Amino acid sequence: MTLTAAFAEQPLPAWKRAVLKVGSSLLAGDGGLSPRNAVHLAAFVHACHAQGREVAIVSSGAVAAGRGILHATPRVDAAMAERQALAALGQAKLMAFWQGFFAQPVAQVLLTHDDVRNRRRYLNARATLQELLRCGALPIVNENDTVSVDELKLGDNDTLGAIVAALIDADVLFVATDIAGLYDRDPRTHTDAMPMLSVVDPGDEILAMAGGAGSAAGTGGMRTKILAAQRAGAAGIDTVLFDGTRPSVSQALAEDRLFGTRLIAGRSRIAARKHWLRHAPVEPGGIVIDAGAAAALCDKGASLLPRGVADALGEFRRGDIVEIFHRDGESGAPRAIARGVTQYSAADIRRIAGRKSHEIDAVLGYNYGDVIVHRDDLSLIDRASQESVDV
């Protein structure tokens, strides 16, 4: 039975930004890293760039590269310090490995648990990744294994792929694996296993079909990929599983033809973000805006610019979710009309209130962008029900 051939071709929906996760099992070779699979995965990324699409790569392989430098034998029970040392040795090798496939510059981005847990660090990581994509660089993301500990690890790189997909507002998470896709049972032990072309909002029953770890070079298996798909799906992002060992499958993927499994999110990316904004707790205080800004937010779906801000109430920090108020008349009480993630603290907002966006840097000495709250980070509040509604 040829596993890949069992998966019929299916079209992929249009997308503009994606994360490609590549595991150790596809990169590890005798004595370190092998280009055998990376060359056609890089060709897929090249094709996407030629189509005007953006791709970030979440790549394993630093530990495998470190072992290659030291000619060390893989050990499942390796101590944390040993894995951290191998990762430190291998990171530079891994970056050089990927740079060898691209003329454009690659950029190393190492994330830790705190970068995801801490909202301000999360926003900083998000801004950096989005700026790298904007300037045409290719982000290569990995967990910073040299400083992580078991209790505070992000987990496997399948999970990291889902985290990065949410960070950059990706449309899809591509997971390159060494198996053709998801089957209704383990095809390595069941010759009658049937391919699953698509699954909507994969739940516990799908998770139960997945097995354990994959190869000795990697740390994950199909189970971790389903968990990652669930996490990406919560952010409204589809996950695609495909055979990263077959050049023809990668080539087809660049043409929006999938031979693999599509794990479909239960709601759209924007709807998922709006749902989070509607139900997440807000910080005390908020932002008071003028009539022009209120009309722009409510009628035009615009972002909130500093020029339309009248004042900031209370004390909150960058990255907090706050309410946005409009005062009816000169002496009217402020009324909440929206809520959103602020890019500036209350103290900063008071200093730049009423200013034009290009003045932010001169006033503060730094800037986090031209907007106070971006439209994608904002949800309107319905006047009648006082519930948030989509912009």
Can you say how many angstroms the Cα of residue 251 is from the centroid of all Cα atoms in its chain? 23
Q: In this structure, how many other beta carbons lie within 10 angstroms of the beta carbon of residue 227?
A: 19
Give the pLDDT band (50/70/90) at residue 2.
very low
Q: What's residue 389's pLDDT?
A: 40
Residue 183 is predicted with a pLDDT of 87
Residues 274-325 have pLDDT tens digits of 777 877 788 889 999 999 999 999 999 999 999 999 999 999 999 889 999 9
56-82 mean pLDDT: 78
Q: What's the order of all strands across the beta sheet hosting 106-111?
A: 106-111, 138-143, 54-59, 17-22, 172-177, 238-243, 260-264, 198-200
What pLDDT does 299 receive?
Answer: 92
Question: What secondary structure does DSSP assign to 312-327, as a single string?
Answer: EES---TT-EEEEEEE
The predicted pLDDT at position 201 comes to 87
What burial class does residue 176 get, using C-beta atoms within 10 Å of its C-beta: 0-12 exposed, 13-18 middle, 19+ buried?
Answer: buried
Mean pLDDT of 384-388: 42
Q: What is the pLDDT of residue 331?
A: 60
| Amino acid identity, position 287 | I
* Position 136, amino acid: G
Give the number of other Cβ atoms within 10 Å of residue 101's Cβ. Answer: 16
> What percentage of residues in the chain have a pLDDT greater than 70?
87
> Chain-wide mean pLDDT for the chain?
85
Q: Could you read off the pLDDT of 48-67 as tens digits, one per residue?
A: 999 999 999 999 888 888 88
Could you report the per-residue pLDDT of 350-364, keeping only the tens digit for each?
999 999 999 999 999
281: phi > 0 → left, psi -120 to 50 → alpha, else beta; which? beta
List 48's β-bridge partners, or say none: none
**In one letter, which amino acid is 303?**
S
Mean pLDDT, rounded, for 260-278: 83
Q: What is the mean pLDDT of residues 322-331?
A: 81
The per-residue pLDDT for 155 is 61
Read off the pLDDT of residues 24-42 as tens digits, 9 standing for 90 and up. Answer: 889 987 778 899 999 999 9
pTM over 0.85: no
What the chain holds in terms of domains, given with CATH numbers, is: 4-266 (3.40.1160.10), 274-389 (2.30.130.10)
In this predicted structure, what is the pLDDT of residue 382? Answer: 64
pLDDT band for 332, please (50, 70, 90 cuts).
low
> Cβ neighbours of residue 356 under 8 Å, at least 6 residues apart?
306, 307
The pLDDT assigned to 48 comes to 97
Average pLDDT over every residue of 265-277: 79
Q: Give the C-alpha separation, 228 to 238, whole Å.
A: 10
Q: Is the pLDDT of residue 386 over 50?
A: no
CA distance 59 to 98: 9
pLDDT band at 214 (very low <50, low <70, confident <90, very high): very low
Q: Which residues contact 68 (CB under 8 A, 6 or more apart)?
A: 31, 32, 33, 90, 93
Contact present, 215 and 245 (Cβ < 8 Å): no
> pLDDT of 93-113, one tens digit each?
999 999 999 999 999 999 887
- Identify the residue with better confidence: 226 or 333: 226
Distance CA 121, CA 116 (A): 7
